[in-house]
Amino acid sequence: MELSRCYWPKADADMIAYHGTEWGTPVHDDRKLFEFMVLDAFQAGLSWSTILRKRENFRRAFADFDIEAIARFGDKDFERLINDAGIIRNRLKIHASIDNARAFLKIVESHGSFDAFIWQFTDGKTVTNHWTEEKQIPVTSPEAERMSAGLKASGFRFVGPTICYSFMQAAGIVNDHLVSCFRWKEVAGCSR
């Protein structure tokens, strides 16, 4: 018997694996949260399947998402990244990722962890939605708008409300699996 899942992975093996093991699972590891922040910023205007196909290249290019290492990236690193055909070579997004690593570390310094900062926008709990159709799933929310404002005030770039909502979905801050999807109940059960 085939499992019922959300509509968006379609028949793409990478998307099916990502949906079935990661998307919507609450993340509290700062490094993983930063990875999703970077990937969601690069995904803006592109398909998520494109980012998934390049994910290992991003990990290699961005020091396995070592935030302190990325915060130290200079001009040579930027040139290496802009010439790396394995990633999305967008100057603004590359600069933003480096600057965001620096802002990320400032948040860690002031809040103890990025996890503590980012989950405050939902009072430390996953927002579990009860969507029955894909057309019900929003592209932003009041929480994403507050998160966007908080990140921008902390020096982040490429963190508009839509990107923040996508990040929230990826990091399990919001559960937007359809209730008919086998993952909805799994994800709802692993919330704080």
Predicted confidence (pLDDT) per residue in 120-157, tens digit: 999 999 999 999 999 999 999 999 999 999 999 999 99
Q: What is the domain-level CATH number for residue 105?
A: 1.10.340.30
Query: pTM of this prediction?
Result: 0.95
Backbone angles phi, psi at 27, to 5 degrees: -110, 130
R_g of the chain, CA atoms, integer Å: 16
Q: Is residue 6 assigned to a domain?
A: no
Q: Is residue 38 part of a domain?
A: yes
Residue 145 lies in a domain: yes
For 6, residues 6+ apart whose C-beta sits below 8 A from its C-beta are 19, 134, 177, 178, 181, 183
Whether 8 maps to a domain, the answer reads: no
* Tens digit of each residue's pLDDT (9 = 90 or more) over 13-34: 999 999 999 999 999 999 999 9
Range of the domain at 141: 13-189
Q: Number of folded domains in the chain?
A: 1
Please report whether residue 4 resides in a domain. Answer: no
Burial category of 189 from C-beta neighbours within 10 Å (exposed 0-12, middle 13-18, buried 19 and up): exposed
Tell me the average pLDDT across 163-186.
Answer: 96
The answer to whether residue 7 is domain-embedded is no
Task: Note whether residue 82 is domain-resident.
Answer: yes
